[in-house]
Structure 1
Amino acid sequence: ARALSYLNIQCGHCHNPEGPADTSSLILDGSHKFLINLGVCKTPVAAGGGSGDMLYSIVPGAPDRSILLYRMRSSELDEMMPELGRSLIHSEGISLISRWIGQLPGSCS
């Protein structure tokens, strides 16, 4: 619940059905609970070069293979998330989301 709340607060203002990141198909505003809408085993549609050559937004049990965490860790302007209002990498948030992804059951294969 803490991880989803974090994503809602940090990402939901853009990643929602009517937000500026609506083309990403990631719905992180708390309105959807389907794992695919949260990015689990979802191939990127709008990440461009910001995918880090990874295949899925979130890979259950594999935070280091997840685009979401890759972009949270990045400080590159064309890759970092959130794009706006951030000058530092939020290590506590990265730790929270990393643990959440690591505990997700299943796989993408």
Structure 2
Amino acid sequence: MQEITVQELKEKLDNKEDFQLIDVREDFEYETSNLGGVLIPLGGILIETDKIAKDKPVVVMCRSGKRSAAAIMQLEQQGFTNLSNLQGGILAWAAEIDPDVVVY
């Protein structure tokens, strides 16, 4: 499984690179804090594959990196090959990039 650090994600955002960010947390978690990604909770990831780009890089994130890894494993079985897991999730983002992000 490909992984990306929060520093690498920040570079992608700062450089306005063409990629998609998918957040697999639940609605209430996303409402608490998010990085602007498309919200597709893990439980519905296989139902909503049509929302996930196949023609550009996709970064999948959650709170800590575990649910996003699970999502990627499911999606790779569906033929996706363009996915990267955000190491440490929003917790790492808050710790290393933006301490103002609310963590829970």
TM-score by length of 2: 0.30
Between 1 and 2, higher relative CO (CA 8 Å, sep ≥ 6) is seen in 2
TM-score by length of 1: 0.29
